[in-house]
Amino acid sequence: MSNLIPVLVVVLMIWTYCRMRQQPLWAEAFRRVRQRRVAMASVVVIGIYGGIAFLDSIGWQDGRNEPRKTIIDRLFQKPKERTYSAPLATVTTGEPTPHPLLGRHLLGTDGVGEDVLYLTLKGCRTAIVLGGLTSLIATPLALLFGMLAGYFGKRVDDAVQYLYTVLDSIPSILLLISLLMVLGRGLDKMCIALGVTSWVSLCRLTRGETLRHREREYVRAARALGVSPIRILYRHILPNLMPLVIISVTLGFSGLVLAEAVLSYLQLGVEPGVGSWGNMIDGARSELAREPIIWWNLTAASTALFVLVLALNLLGDALRDAIDPRLRSS
């Protein structure tokens, strides 16, 4: 299932772009985004990360008893080194007698001789899968509860508000740790835990926007014509919520990527054998106390994480400015 998530994310992005550009509001918004170099650079960066995750999701077995290898695995089919080696070094690091390396490593190797660039690229898939699958869980929950509470009001609104107020009153990190201790460690379980706990803020925004739209003339006219509430929510209110949803999901995606790194650092995230920037940062804690300092493992994971989060935040800000003319900075 997790191998399909990067593919599904790419397909959804292409479908959303093709569908939205047919509408005048979104066509104008996309035109404004294309005029901003920072936004387009962010799109390119996110596309590179997505392409790496896509390549790391396509794999096959060479034989019945052989392990499954992805395209990324096959591109880095090199013998493991003995131990640490610095970026672009020719001998090992930290040994009394340095040994020649079997190959050149752009970002060096870790303690077991694994290529750091390979581990960094493997972390792209984990980040995209986590952000994509969690968004697919949290966004429908937020839309469902938010629209029902905002449109029907009264007891439905009270019940939804009580539910997300209770969830929001619990410290998020404690709630995540509790859920992961119950569900167990793993990428799919972490997506479920984050999805269950990350829909509250979007639900609040959706509820407020639905309250505003339900009193508009087009909704009143639809009710007067006998249109069912479900059809009104789906055909009339939901399209008007999509700008808010897309911006919130884009900005929230970066928070989910950071959450994976934090949970893996606390040894509550993905399994040790799965490529993850959080696992790399966790494994680099003791390396900073070595002599000489092993800095490249931590630097590679932190830089990859920083670049992706920065690109997502810049793209989210550009979309927000493009969609809402009152917030345009230029």
197 located within any domain: yes
Q: What range defines the domain where residue 187 resides?
A: 4-76+115-327
pLDDT at 330: 45
User: Which residue do the tokens 């752009």 mark?
Assistant: 106
91 located within any domain: no
CA atoms within 13 A on the CB side of 183: 20
126 located within any domain: yes
pLDDT at 148: 93
Mean pLDDT, to the nearest integer, of 307-326?
Answer: 82
Tens-digit pLDDT profile for residues 67-79: 888 889 888 887 8
The total of structural domains in the chain comes to: 1
**Kind of pairing, strands 59-60 and 69-70?**
antiparallel
pLDDT exceeds cutoff 60 at 2: no
More confident residue, 220 or 66: 220
More confident residue, 132 or 145: 145
109 located within any domain: no
CB neighbour class for 67 (10 Å; exposed up to 12, middle 13-18, buried from 19): exposed
Tens-digit pLDDT profile for residues 81-138: 888 888 988 888 878 888 888 888 889 988 888 899 999 999 998 888 888 888 888 9
3-state SS record for 3-16: CHHHHHHHHHHHHH
Distance of alpha carbon 259 from the chain centroid: 9
Give which of 6, 42, 34, 40 is closest to 251, Cα–Cα: 42
Contacts of 309 by beta carbon, 8 Å cutoff, 6+ apart:
254, 257, 258
pLDDT exceeds cutoff 50 at 326: yes
- Is residue 156 within 8 Å of 149, Cβ to Cβ? yes
pLDDT exceeds cutoff 80 at 218: yes
CATH number for the domain spanning 143: value is 1.10.3720.10
107 located within any domain: no
pLDDT at 287: 81
pLDDT exceeds cutoff 90 at 145: yes
Tens-digit pLDDT profile for residues 237-261: 888 888 788 888 888 888 888 888 8
Distance of alpha carbon 284 from the chain centroid: 23
pLDDT at 283: 81
Q: How far is CA 214 from CA 17, 23, 143, 148, 151, in A?
A: 27, 22, 15, 11, 6
pLDDT exceeds cutoff 90 at 303: yes
104 located within any domain: no
Report residue 143: phi and psi, to 5°: -65, -45
pLDDT exceeds cutoff 70 at 329: no
103 located within any domain: no
Residues in the chain: 330
pLDDT exceeds cutoff 80 at 265: no
More confident residue, 125 or 25: 125
Contacts of 239 by beta carbon, 8 Å cutoff, 6+ apart:
none
Contacts of 261 by beta carbon, 8 Å cutoff, 6+ apart:
269, 276, 277, 278, 281, 301, 305
Q: Using 50, 70 and 90 to split pLDDT, how confident is the model at 268?
A: confident
110 located within any domain: no
CA-derived radius of gyration, the chain: 23
